Structure 1
Amino acid sequence: MGGKKVQKMREEILQGPIEKTLFALSFPLIINNLVQVLYNLTDTFWLGRLGRAELSAPGTAWPMIGTLMALGMGFATAGFALVGQYVGAGRYDKANNAAGSLYSLVLIFATIVGVFGYFVTPYALHFMKVSESVYPYALAYTRIIFLGIPFAFTSFAFSFLLRAVGDTKTPMKLNLLTVAINVILDPILIFGWLGLPEMGIKGAALATITANSVGSLIGVYLLFSGRVGVHLTLESLKPNLEFYGKIFRIGLPSSVGQSANNFGFVVLTRIIFGFGDVAYAAYIITTRLVNVLTSIARGIGMGMGTMVAQNVGAEQYERAKKIAERTMMVNFAIASLSVLLIGIFREDIFRIFLNDPAVIAESEIVLKYFLISVPFFNGIFVVVTNVFRSAGHTKKSMTLSILRLWGLRVPLSYAFGYIPAITILGLTIPLAEFFDFTSKGVFFGMGLSNFIAAGVALIWFVRGTWMKRIIERW
């Protein structure tokens, strides 16, 4: 590390025009996100041909998978912050040591998660109150995905490390390849084309882990070849308790926050399923659509993370703040346009995936009570938590994540969906009269949580307590 390419990118991040540099970093990430969402939509499209239960299975599985994966992703976030700040400070030897420690730690942790997840899946699905029609498909899908978790984790680590040094193009190219493999294999394995056996939902899961395996192996080769900004060696992969300790101390709050966040969605799945398969199917398709239209915003946010990490490492705090503020404005506008487009073309789009009148009717409720809050979530909350993580202040991002899910979204969605009335300061509010014990209350609570969480995040960001680098301690 420390080659001319990395040093040139560092200079642009620290001194170049903000908008131009942000676009240069974000464009490959935007393409990367769009391609990933394309796969998700393809998966949804093909499974929708099988039925409502098959279509719902991956959406049911991913909150549980994400809960365990988030533990490792928190450590990857710590590695990203350390590598990015070391590069910003010009300490390339330290950056390589952090990269090697992160990669070996992620591989060990991913193996443990895969084994644990495989055996805990039945109990988790029962906890979520997954309906009998969805349960067998969700069980089969989830267990196969857990078997491929080590490949998924190491692919994420590869992307995090290269993004930290300012290389967003290489992860994009690798992701294009893996998604292409996934998209091609999906219908072949699901429906048994080309003489292969028809595997249904199992085929979708197998296509995913096959593609991840290819991407992971190529990533390992590139990291060891010295052809990318990070150069790993067998020596750097040896367990380093000192760096493991750093990664744990910085990454643990992020791991706890992200895991609590994902487990919140496990509970939320249980809450939504209380109103049946129709409500959940409408929710899953809607979130897939939002992911398509907000991929640009998420890509810009990830590019911002690289710029914030390196500018904080170089102690250019005001520049880091200005980068974040401009990202908020752009992402809020993009998310607002996304919601508007979904509102206009909602029925026609839904019919493409699942021509079910009940689900289409339910989608109007999701739009009216939940989707209008998405610009505040993507434009403000997501950007602020990304700033905190990129600056290495993971306790702040953890606190915000837990507040949004456990302090706001879960209790509010349950209260408005299931509780007939609440009493505040002697005043009784008849919630049932507003929402009639329907899914309207659940989605209203989810939307309200986004508005409140965005306000809290913005106030915390403006205070500027995150404007201090973490590498001074090391």
Structure 2
Amino acid sequence: MTQETKDRIEGIEKQNETERKEHNIKENKMASMPVGKLMLGMAWPAMLSMFIQALYNIVDSIYVAKVSEASLTAVSLAFPIQMLMISVAVGTGVGVNSLIARRLGARRFEEANMAASHGFRIAFINWAVFALFGFFFSKMYMAAYTDSPYILEQGTAYLVIVTVCSLFVFVQVNTEKVLQATGNMLLPMACSLTGAIINIILGYILIFGHFGFPEMGVVGSAVATVVGQFISMCMGLVLLLGKKHEVTVKIRGFKFSGQITKDIYSVGFPSVVMQAIVSVMLFFVNGILAFSETAVAVLGIYFKLNSFIFLPIFGLNQGAMPIIGYNYGAKNRDRLMKTYKLGFKISLVIMCIGTLLFLLLPAQLLLLFDASENMIIIGTPALRIISLCFLPAAFGIMTSTLFQATGHGMLSLWMSLIRQLVGIVPLAFLLTSIGGLALVWWAWPLAEILGTIYCIIFLNRLYKKEISTLS
């Protein structure tokens, strides 16, 4: 054996030893670090990123509302398509993330590289679908909800821009999920924060026409959105391709594999569905509320405001889920339940704050969006009534996280369907038929009650059959 061969073998052994030590450190942390410190340490990058994203959603709508109430309605009608687009991007990214993580854990590095490479090709395919829809069907979509020439024109222009340029968000999300799959949470957070901050600043400049730029209104909001996504995408690509990571994206010598695509969407499709439920619900509810453009705008404001409450909780769950999953696999019932209960308590505190804000200050929240007198009359009771769903939602969201972490994704999917679609849409239609706008808002808390009953039943079954038997 030559000296060169000996040195190579020694180098490989040292690398393997280093990897084993890193793996043991991670295992020890998941198994022994205090749950609160561990969960918050893992969750804070995602919570901060989602908090900034929620802030952007609100600030962007405040800017648009200052143009006119009709402008806010136009953007609100386009919002479900945007949410559907994000749902496909994030759901696909979750599938890519999961497949990469599993292949890395199994030491199948080449397959991890192929999963990452497929993610980028799929991003282009998804972009093409939405770009074609936006280019050819945006006006038809908007016309289904409004006969106002201004709302139709502005909403169509907004929708065309964000869909035709959606390549940026598809690639951006995929890049972030690939980085997260290698255990890097900070770089994706930096990319997301940079894009959101640029979006907020540029939105103000373009919507109102400052620093020599023309006043672009709704179109300016769309342009700021895609520019922020473009910069975030570029930053992510530089960080992914310009540095050495555990995975390598193949640009040349790539062959598309149906099996890898299937593996990605075996996890990604349920996630797409769960993410898209709110979009589908809004399609129907906006149609139910089509007799009142102000009511549509109020619903749009509600979803922008509730993101400020809900998104940080979803970030918290990103920290809780791997801890629950790890300790479920390790058969450590005490740490599993401690994580679940702590996550629920923190979620409940956040929801309590949100409920108080909506109950005590609904008019002030609406005035952030330059609400007219009619909007305040409609929106004040609407925000108060819908906020009654917040507290039970804390239980539903955290229990859904437990279902996913223990490998029961379909239980989580049905939970989301009941809370956000199967419950709300029929109830909204029925209540509108009975009492119009005065009753329609009760669809949200009533649907949440149905979701809570479902959660209690299946959580009890899961605990008795599986969790209680863990040592």
So what's the TM-score if we normalise by structure 1?
0.84
Deviates more, 1:141-150 or 1:59-68: 59-68
Cα contact 1:77–1:389 (8 A) shared by 2? no
In 2: Cα distance, 1:174 partner to 1:339 partner = 31
- Corresponding residue of 1:279: 295
SS of equivalent residue, structure 1 residue 107: helix
Q: Aligned match of 1:197 in 214, 225, 230? A: 214
In 2: Cα distance, 1:236 partner to 1:448 partner = 54
In 2: Cα distance, 1:184 partner to 1:72 partner = 24
Cα contact 1:327–1:383 (8 A) shared by 2? yes
Tell me if 1:74 matches 2:74. no
Tell me if 1:288 matches 2:304. yes
- Corresponding residue of 1:50: 67
Cα contact 2:418–2:450 (8 A) shared by 1? no
Return closer, same or farther for 1:336/1:163 CA change in 2, 3 Å cut-off.
Answer: farther
Q: What pairs with 1:220-239 in structure 2 (closer than 5 Å)?
A: 220-227=237-244, 230-234=247-251, 238-239=255-256
1:16-65 deviations in whole A, cap 9, x for unaligned?
32211110111111211121122122212211211101122222212123
Q: Aligned match of 1:61 in 65, 69, 78? A: 78
Return closer, same or farther for 1:136/1:129 CA change in 2, 3 Å cut-off.
Answer: same
- Corresponding residue of 1:457: 455
CA drift at 1:465: 8.7
CA drift at 1:453: 1.2
Return closer, same or farther for 1:380/1:87 CA change in 2, 3 Å cut-off.
Answer: farther
- Corresponding residue of 1:162: 179
Cα contact 1:311–1:320 (8 A) shared by 2? yes
Q: Aligned match of 1:402 in 417, 433, 447? A: 417
CA drift at 1:307: 3.4
Cα contact 1:97–1:236 (8 A) shared by 2? no
- Corresponding residue of 2:7: none
Return closer, same or farther for 1:27/1:248 CA change in 2, 3 Å cut-off.
Answer: closer
- Corresponding residue of 2:313: 297
1:66-119 deviations in whole A, cap 9, x for unaligned?
234434433322233334455666766654443333333233322322223332
- Corresponding residue of 1:356: 372
In 1: Cα distance, 2:447 partner to 2:145 partner = 21
Q: What pairs with 1:304-319 in structure 2 (closer than 5 Å)?
A: 304-308=320-324, 314-316=329-331, 318=333, 319=335
Q: Aligned match of 2:437 in 426, 436, 439? A: 439
- Corresponding residue of 1:417: 432
- Corresponding residue of 2:386: 370
Which has the greater radius of gyration?
A: 2
CA drift at 1:246: 1.1
Q: What pairs with 1:130-141 in structure 2 (closer than 5 Å)?
A: 132-141=149-158
Return closer, same or farther for 1:370/1:236 CA change in 2, 3 Å cut-off.
Answer: farther
One-letter code aligned to 1:104: R
One-letter code aligned to 2:45: P
Output the aligned Cα RMSD.
3.1
One-letter code aligned to 2:83: G
Return closer, same or farther for 1:96/1:320 CA change in 2, 3 Å cut-off.
Answer: farther
1:323-372 deviations in whole A, cap 9, x for unaligned?
33431222122112211123223323322321422222222211332111
CA drift at 1:233: 3.7
Tell me if 1:327 matches 2:348. no
Cα contact 1:6–1:229 (8 A) shared by 2? no
Deviates more, 1:384-393 or 1:38-47: 384-393
In 1: Cα distance, 2:301 partner to 2:93 partner = 29
One-letter code aligned to 1:340: L
- Corresponding residue of 1:147: 164
In 2: Cα distance, 1:88 partner to 1:375 partner = 38
Deviates more, 1:197-206 or 1:223-232: 223-232
One-letter code aligned to 2:261: Y
Identity %: 22
In 1: Cα distance, 2:120 partner to 2:31 partner = 26
Deviates more, 1:456-465 or 1:207-216: 456-465
Return closer, same or farther for 1:257/1:172 CA change in 2, 3 Å cut-off.
Answer: closer
Cα contact 1:128–1:267 (8 A) shared by 2? no
- Corresponding residue of 2:189: 172
In 2: Cα distance, 1:94 partner to 1:76 partner = 16
- Corresponding residue of 2:55: 38
Cα contact 2:203–2:221 (8 A) shared by 1? yes
One-letter code aligned to 1:365: P
CA drift at 1:235: 6.3
In 2: Cα distance, 1:139 partner to 1:358 partner = 25
Cα contact 2:109–2:247 (8 A) shared by 1? no
In 1: Cα distance, 2:444 partner to 2:48 partner = 29
Return closer, same or farther for 1:120/1:245 CA change in 2, 3 Å cut-off.
Answer: same
- Corresponding residue of 2:9: none
Return closer, same or farther for 1:398/1:185 CA change in 2, 3 Å cut-off.
Answer: same
So what's the TM-score if we normalise by structure 2?
0.84
Deviates more, 1:340-349 or 1:262-271: 340-349
In 2: Cα distance, 1:61 partner to 1:408 partner = 23
- Corresponding residue of 1:382: 397
Deviates more, 1:61-70 or 1:181-190: 61-70
In 2: Cα distance, 1:180 partner to 1:139 partner = 25
Cα contact 1:66–1:262 (8 A) shared by 2? yes
Return closer, same or farther for 1:342/1:253 CA change in 2, 3 Å cut-off.
Answer: closer
Deviates more, 1:91-100 or 1:405-414: 91-100
One-letter code aligned to 1:407: V
Ranges in structure 1 where 5+ consecutive residues have no aligned partner:
421-436, 469-474
Ranges in structure 2 where 5+ consecutive residues have no aligned partner:
1-14, 467-471
Deviates more, 1:1-10 or 1:324-333: 1-10
SS of equivalent residue, structure 1 residue 134: helix
1:151-182 deviations in whole A, cap 9, x for unaligned?
11122222333334443221221122111211
How many residues align? The count is 448
Return closer, same or farther for 1:235/1:454 CA change in 2, 3 Å cut-off.
Answer: farther
In 1: Cα distance, 2:233 partner to 2:163 partner = 15
Deviates more, 1:179-188 or 1:95-104: 95-104
SS of equivalent residue, structure 1 residue 371: helix
